[in-house]
Amino acid sequence: MRPKRIAILGSTGSIGKNALRVIDALGPEYEIVALTAHSNIELLAEQARRYKSRFVAITNADYATRLSELVGDLDVELLAGPDSLVEIAQLEEVDIVLTAVVGAAGLPAVLAAARKGKILAIANKEPLVVAGELLTRTVKENGGIILPVDSEHSAIFQAMQAGSREEVSKIILTTSGGPFRKATAADIQNVTLEEALAHPVWDMGPKITIDSATMTNKALEVIEAHWLFDMPVEKIEVLVHPESIVHSLVEFVDGSVIAQLGTPDMCFPIQYALTYPRRVTGIGKRLRLEEIGKLTFEKPNLETFRALSLGFEVARMGGTTAAVFNAANEAAVQEFLAGRIKFVNIIESIEHCLNKHSAKTSVSLEELLEADAWARKEVEKRAKEHKSIRA
């Protein structure tokens, strides 16, 4: 049998590197055909050499010349610029596109892969948030499939197999609660970047780590689940579970609740997306419940984490609001990571944009991208104002 041919968009990131570890262990049935990065050319070149990738793409074209020197002796085709992601995503030579880039920047590529009917293993949740209706429709129309890599959505996808979609009464997304789980709204006023980056359970890229600290990540995941599972917002709940062993749950109409458990290791959902519908021996650490002892659950604190309630509201409203929510967050997180705004300014930026935005209900891709660009500019403008107030 021919090996499954894989393109990893964002191979130098946290998910990308874990995916390569999983693929290493899966053996010759899986072949890396294409790898991409934004600026980390050293690691990308090393990966291209090791996995004999036939294509590499660097989305920041400024690094193309240096990269071509690093891979000059390899039999590899080099692509550069943001559009190179789209080219990789629709390659004839690729069966599975694993999307592990960060942010809405992955949207054109994931749509291109959907149009080609590829198997889409999606870690990159932002495109689903921004253009969930368009993306899921395009996948359906072209005979493709989305296999979730986000751990909660992988858990739901697995638990859903215990019944039919009509038999589901609700889905429950779990969250570790992040580094500020016990904090009050007053406590988070002056948290530092270092504190916000110190996630108690997961080791992830900086953007999603900050999203977890604000709980915007869970808000994005509510919207992601709404589109992925075609589930009304009223049937989606969030439950805080600090141990991060129960990755999410599905309640069926008869009252039975099916959960998926495992040690907190992204290798599990990555592997399941790659081998679905099969299960094979994996590299993730086995769960020993007797070592964990007890599993605890609590309600999320909606006063401290305003982003979470907003996420539900945005999922209900649809249209351009999710694009604005996501873009405002991406831009604000960037400003926070760069030290230009405070932690609490992230949620304020999102609220400001949503209040000022005139939402459209029925939308085209152009309108979504327009809303996205508007929100980013708005946040940058506010960040400059914050700076001048503080100066």
Residues 55, 56, 62: CA angle, nearest 5 degrees: 145
Q: Name the residue number minimizing CB distance to ligand NDP.
A: 13
If binding is defined by CB under 5 A, does position 150 make contact with Mg ion? yes
Instruction: Name the binder of 202 from ligand NDP, Mg ion, none, CB < 5-8 A by kind.
Output: ligand NDP
Residue with tokens 């996995």: 51
119 or 333: CB nearest ligand NDP: 333
Query: Mask of contacts with ligand NDP, 202-241, x by CB under 6 A?
Result: x-xx-xx---------------------------------
* 168-175 and 246-252 beta bridge pairing: antiparallel
Residues 276, 76, 112: CA angle, nearest 5 degrees: 50
Whole-angstrom distance, CA of residue 376 vs CA of residue 350 = 10
34 or 100: CB nearest ligand NDP: 100
If binding is defined by CB under 6 A, does position 131 make contact with ligand NDP? no
Cβ-count burial 62-100 (b if 16+ within 10 Å, e if not)? ebbeebbebbeeeebebbbeeebbbbbbbbeebbbbbbb
If binding is defined by CB under 6 A, does position 13 make contact with ligand NDP? yes
Among 7, 78, 98, 101, binds ligand NDP (CB under 6 A): 101
Among 102, 146, 273, 327, binds ligand NDP (CB under 6 A): 102
132 or 319: CB nearest Mg ion: 132
Whole-angstrom distance, CA of residue 386 vs CA of residue 341 = 7
- The interface with ligand NDP within residues 241-280 (CB under 6 A) comprises 266
Record the tokens describing residue 12, joined without a space: 């130098």
Among 56, 67, 76, 100, binds ligand NDP (CB under 6 A): 100
Residues near ligand NDP (CB under 6 A): 10-16, 37-40, 59, 85, 100-102, 105, 123-126, 150, 202, 204-205, 207-208, 266
Residues near Mg ion (CB under 5 A): 150-152
